[in-house]
Amino acid sequence: MDDNTFEKTPITLLGLGAMGTALARTWLTAGHPLTVWNRTPAKAEQLAAAGATVARTADEAVAASRLVVACLLDDASVGEALAGIDLHGKDLVNLTTSTPGEARTRAEWAHGRGARFLDGGIMAVPPMIGIREAGGYVFYSGSRALFDDHRSALEAPAGATYVGEDAGFAALHDVALLSAMTGMFAGVTHAFALIRKEDVAPRDLAPLLVDWIGAMGSMVHLTAARLESGDYTSDVASNLAMMVAGNATLLRTADEQGVSPELLIPYMELMERRLEAGHGSEDGTGLVDLL
Ligand code: FVH
């Protein structure tokens, strides 16, 4: 492979949505010969002006390069876009968000068609692509050889973190982080709702929330250590019995402020179940087992 020479690897990119377009611009800027295809051809026009070769069909696009990257809406759209296309000798990198199971099935599907396969989970939004300082990166899993062969091309848009030969691992890591993010934003949404009708500016609460989330974030390491040791009760600073009692204050405050507690209730119910099962002296780690 030629990633480590002055010749930049030719790349085919399928999908020119917000993310695909950002990826395309970065690869063009980095000097990679780029062939693009999008179901709706108009989205390719600006990239053509920037130097991309626009393929009329996905088949034509795949034929243009050994390294083929898909960044489509979902796994079903990958199957539709590549249906019936010859993949022999291709290196298929799927940056479409998938479940771990979908990624493993897609890997088998690609291998059955003669391609090497690498799945990717993008931990960035489009404006972060191509900006190293933004801190975005992509989890990769699947063929280590493919990853090593094309590493410099893969690292042009964002950092590249390889997490294993199991094709499902990139999606597993991606979705684990996205799920944590979902819970975090649920909490932030509730917090802003609490102050909505008060004389507190959202812009004044924002930095307090950011600092608090940062400070609490380090608890993740403690949870990991407890899960690995199986010891959920030593040196517990905030035990479950205390936290469940504290939840009642959170709920009364929501009631006073006229805010629906619907984002908090499921997590609080889980805490109560663990407490009722006799685990009041633990911290919150036991909720992982309960799930
Ligand atoms: N944008 C983001 O913030 C997130 C960041 C993290 C990673 N995600 C994932 O990246 C994949 C692509 O996301 P996107 O932002 O580019 O999404 P859209 O702008 O909605 O573009 C979707 C493209 O998929 C094409 N497409 C949809 N269905 C089909 C199909 N059946 N056959 C062929 N192509 C299809 C669509 O084509 P068109 O509508 O323009 O014709 C777009 O090119 C995604 O997995 C995110 O979860 C982004």
pLDDT, tens digit, 9 for 90 and up, residues 247-275: 999 999 999 999 999 999 999 999 999 99
pLDDT, tens only, 87-121 = 999 999 999 999 999 999 999 999 999 999 999 99
Q: Is the CB of 15 under 6 A from ligand 1?
A: yes
Query: What pLDDT is attached to residue 3?
Result: 47
pTM greater than 0.85: yes
Domains of the chain: 11-166 (3.40.50.720), 173-290 (1.10.1040.10)
Residue 2 pLDDT = 45
Whole-number pLDDT of residue 226 = 97
Whole-number pLDDT of residue 149? 98
pLDDT score recorded for residue 258? 98
* Cβ–ligand 1 contact at 17 (below 6 Å): yes
CA-based nearest residue to 144, from 129, 154, 134, 136: 154
Distance 233 CA to ligand 1 centre (A): 45
| Shortest-distance Cα residue to atom 27 of ligand 1 | 73
Residue ranges in the chain modelled with pLDDT below 50: 1-5
